[in-house]
A and B are shown apart, each in its own frame.
Chain A
Amino acid sequence: MKDFVTLFQEIDATTKTNAKIAALVTYFQNAAPQDRLWAITLLMGNRPRRPVKTTDLRAWVAAITDLPLWLIEESYYIVGDLAETLALLAGDQENTEAPVLTLTELLQALQQLAGLNPEEQQAFITRFWMDHRGEDNFVFNKLITGNFRMGVSKQLVIKALAQYIGQDEKAIAHRLMGKWDPAAETLESLFGDRTVENKAYLPYPFFLAYPLEGTPEAILGPITDWYLEKKFDGIRGQIIVRNHQVFVWSRGEELVTDKFPEFDRLQDLLPNGTVIDGEIIPWKDGQVLPFAQMQTRIGRKKLTPKHLSEVPLIMICYDLLEYNGEDIRSKTLEERRLLLTTLLALPSVNSVLQLSHLLEFDHWEEAAQFRARARDFFCEGIMIKRISSVYETGRRRGNWWKWKTAPMTVDAVLIYAQSGSGRRSNLFTDYTFAVWDGDQLVPFTKAYSGLTDKEILRLDRWVKTHTIEKFGPVRSVQPELVFEIAFEGIQESKRHKSGVALRFPRILRWREDKPATEANTKEDLRTLL
């Protein structure tokens, strides 16, 4: 596994995409054939199941170091990463007599480990720790704690594989779709000898809207040149029907067909050679459901009929890219929309495909009023598209604009701080905020992002000198600092003390001009519901 550890370190040491790709390609060129496949599954984010309990790991490292468990726990709070903590404690001595395992052998051993009794598990893991250097132990621990992440996106792995194998990235992505067993495949069986495969699954590159800042009349001219539509908060996607097969691609160019079984039936309902662009949103009884519900559903490994009936998904369709097998992206939006309207007139598709309705405004002023109240209309703003525009690729200024409504904001008091993990470990970067309820402060949200690195360092130092109490990694701090918190949505919630849950909360700015007494109240929050 040495070469895999080296690969991990090289990827870990750089933020440069090209350096990561180069490291991956070098690995693929030199690794043992079977190791490559195991490495690919790991790199694609298929983590091995955790074969042991993490409490056992703590106990075993305590046994070899003679340290009390509480001290290991305190160290873990500071390091912010269990695998790293264990590696730092477990030792850094290589035993050159010890058997050298390949990645394949190691992963297979780990698969068997789950079935052993705790004493056997302890013997195996302790032996490994004692025989290896810190860097090997770190990667090993990442694998056995089940939170292995490599610092590369799927897309990057696909890029590297495409380079190494000499094939198109989209073909590689397609072949890596779905479940496959690294023990049962070879590079040849996965990627080889299928070069003339049909490309029916391929999406078109997405055209992305540019954020509109400033007044539309100045930038866009007369409103009559534009189609205006609601901007829904969902997942941008393309639905493809070719050869009686449905493919769903997300904007991240990920093939996500299996996440959306409701679209399967389209293979018989839509003509072959159809590609629709739109937003997938949760929709029930004629109403948009909160985004969070879809998110939960998407995150599930297994979808049951219950999930499907609780959070049904539909696509709000706003563009047609391929019609009867013909690429129509160079037609005008007006023409494309006309064809799309015809296509969606089929009553049988209406339950899962809906046409995105045009908003009719006479003046930009009316549009601005709609945008300001967008949440009342269950959307997050307005999409503005030039009627005469062709379907371009990527994010470009000019023909497609998104005009999002301003986020909701409250001024809140910082009451707890916790050190972050990963890049932010050892720094207080996870904050809990509260609003006033009478003379009490009630926590209502956490927020992690929005401060500059400099502000984070200042705040970190402030936290250290204004701590009231420590609870493990969490510190309560003197309720003095006020921050403006922005968020996209707010919902009633039984799980939170404050009774509300926020969508995408983040710190807008540090209100150094405000004392804590002037922060918002719980009532203020509830008026936003």
Chain B
Amino acid sequence: MLQFKEEGIYFPAADLYIDPWKPVSRAVITHGHSDHARPEMGSYLCHTLTKEIIKHRLGPEIAVQTLDYNEPLHINGATLSFHPAGHIIGSAQVRLEYKGEVWVVTGDYKLLNDGVSTPYEPITCHSFITESTFGLPVYQFKPCASIYEAINHWCAQNAKEGYNSVLIGYALGKAQNILANLDPELGVPLLHGAVFNMNEALARSGQLFPGEWLTPETPADRLKNTVVVAPQSVLGTPWLRKLQPYRIAVCSGWMALRGPRRRLSVDKGFALSDHCDFEQLNTAIKATGAQHIYVTHGYQAVYSRWLREQYGLNAVELTTHFENNEEAITGEDQKTPE
């Protein structure tokens, strides 16, 4: 029913692509991260809350049609609907039905409730396309609430000792999770431009997050014992200089491992992820009842073998143009997909 083409995942019955990486006429977008929402598509179809995000990222001129969760769209006898993926604001699994056959394309997702995005809902289907960013048993993420608590505790301790707290996370997703759960006692956080601009875009669809834009004009006394939220692109750059004295923490699922944690030489790593860990993946896949699993984005070879051997599923790996780097900590330019 679906075809895996050079441009991306193709649904011929409705003549559209899901998260295509090359320009096509009709693109269905699971969520606003830049390895899923690519520029130069003829038209975009996405969840209502994703619209402002991709307009902000890809340009105000793009043609966008939106749907709410669970709102079916009928095209040539095929049905398409979005369902909460729990990954970031507006993230959706795409359910596709044609002649009684049902496929679900997850994009990225997680089962843990982050308190910001609409929680994941399992969808019964015949074929399921899943990511596997953290598809190894060594990844066991703790509930988001306990991580938020640790972050708040860390920031409070820093403030007490006279340090600013710099929290590093993606401008879309992680930043809002942090902001929505910061203890108000810590004061109004300061935001890097990328985070601030993203928040402005989200505000246009009614999603509000605290924080002030940190600019060169921000007065020095505002930069005392405060919390700053910034994307990973600031790591190792002079942008941080003005925040001294500070302690810096990276919030990412990769921080579950010591190697990546130490490689960044930051003060602290919080394993806060917007992806499924191994157990979440297993739970999600079992809940769909699907017999055919396509594994993408991450440890697809290992994870699909696990699915075949453990659950007797027909699991195969799909390779993508973006291997495993959505959450990659690069310290590089903004062009890197977040």
Interface of A with B (CB < 8 Å)?
12-15, 65, 67-68, 70-72, 74-75, 78-81, 84-85, 88-89, 92, 420-427, 453-454, 457, 461, 464-465, 470
A457 CA to B331 CA, complexed, in Å = 9
Q: Does B238 contact A (CB under 8 A)?
A: no
Our count of residue pairs bridging A and B at CB distance below 8 angstroms stands at 81
Enumerate the 8 nearest inter-chain pairs by beta-carbon distance, A residue then B residue, closest first.
Answer: A425-B259, A88-B138, A464-B323, A75-B138, A74-B302, A423-B262, A423-B263, A75-B136
A44 CA to B68 CA, complexed, in Å = 62
**What residues on B are CB-neighbors of A15 within 8 Å?**
265
B16 CB to closest chain A CB (Å) equals 26
- B259 interface neighbour in A71, A72, A81, A92, Cβ under 8 Å: A81
A364 CA to B265 CA, complexed, in Å = 45
**What residues on B are CB-neighbors of A80 within 8 Å?**
259
A470 CA to B323 CA, complexed, in Å = 15
Q: Does B309 contact A (CB under 8 A)?
A: yes
Closest B residue to A15 using CB positions: B265
| Residue pair B306, A71 in contact (C-beta under 8 Å) | yes
Known: A75-B136, A78-B138, A88-B140. A470 touches B301 (CB 8 A): yes
- A-B pairs with beta carbons under 8 Å apart, 19 shown: A68-B309, A71-B306, A79-B138, A79-B259, A420-B259, A422-B259, A423-B259, A423-B263, A425-B258, A426-B260, A427-B259, A427-B263, A453-B331, A457-B330, A457-B331, A457-B332, A461-B325, A461-B328, A464-B323
A159 CA to B210 CA, complexed, in Å = 47
Known: A78-B299, A424-B263, A453-B331. A71 touches B258 (CB 8 A): no
**What residues on B are CB-neighbors of A426 within 8 Å?**
254, 257, 259-260
A44 CA to B265 CA, complexed, in Å = 24
Q: Does B7 contact A (CB under 8 A)?
A: no
Known: A13-B268, A457-B330. A421 touches B259 (CB 8 A): yes
Main secondary structure of the interface of A (DSSP, over half): helix
Given contact pairs A422-B259, A457-B330, a sample of 4 additional A-B residue pairs in the complex whose CB atoms are under 8 Å apart: A12-B262, A78-B136, A420-B259, A470-B301
A59 CA to B262 CA, complexed, in Å = 28
A92 CA to B139 CA, complexed, in Å = 12
Contact with A along B113-147 (1 / 0, CB 8 A): 00000000000000000000000111110000000
B166 CB to closest chain A CB (Å) equals 16
A306 CA to B258 CA, complexed, in Å = 43
Interface of B with A (CB < 8 Å)?
136-140, 236, 254, 256-260, 262-263, 265, 267-268, 299, 301-302, 305-306, 309-310, 321, 323-325, 328, 330-332
B322 CB to closest chain A CB (Å) equals 9
| Residue pair A454, B332 in contact (C-beta under 8 Å) | yes
A420 CA to B263 CA, complexed, in Å = 11
Closest B residue to A76 using CB positions: B138
B316 CB to closest chain A CB (Å) equals 16
**What residues on A are CB-neighbors of B309 within 8 Å?**
68
A245 CA to B136 CA, complexed, in Å = 58
- A425 interface neighbour in B136, B260, B321, Cβ under 8 Å: B260
**What residues on B are CB-neighbors of A75 within 8 Å?**
136-138
A280 CA to B301 CA, complexed, in Å = 52
Closest B residue to A61 using CB positions: B137
| Residue pair A88, B263 in contact (C-beta under 8 Å) | no
**What residues on B are CB-neighbors of A427 within 8 Å?**
259, 263
| Residue pair A88, B256 in contact (C-beta under 8 Å) | yes
B264 CB to closest chain A CB (Å) equals 9
| Residue pair A13, B267 in contact (C-beta under 8 Å) | yes
| Residue pair B323, A465 in contact (C-beta under 8 Å) | yes
A464 CA to B299 CA, complexed, in Å = 11
**What residues on B are CB-neighbors of A92 within 8 Å?**
140
Among B138, B263, B325, which residue has the most Cβ atoms of chain A within 10 A? B138
A69 CB to closest chain B CB (Å) equals 12
- B137 interface neighbour in A89, A424, A425, Cβ under 8 Å: A89
B262 CB to closest chain A CB (Å) equals 5
**What residues on A are CB-neighbors of B139 within 8 Å?**
88
**What residues on B are CB-neighbors of A84 within 8 Å?**
257-258
B276 CB to closest chain A CB (Å) equals 16
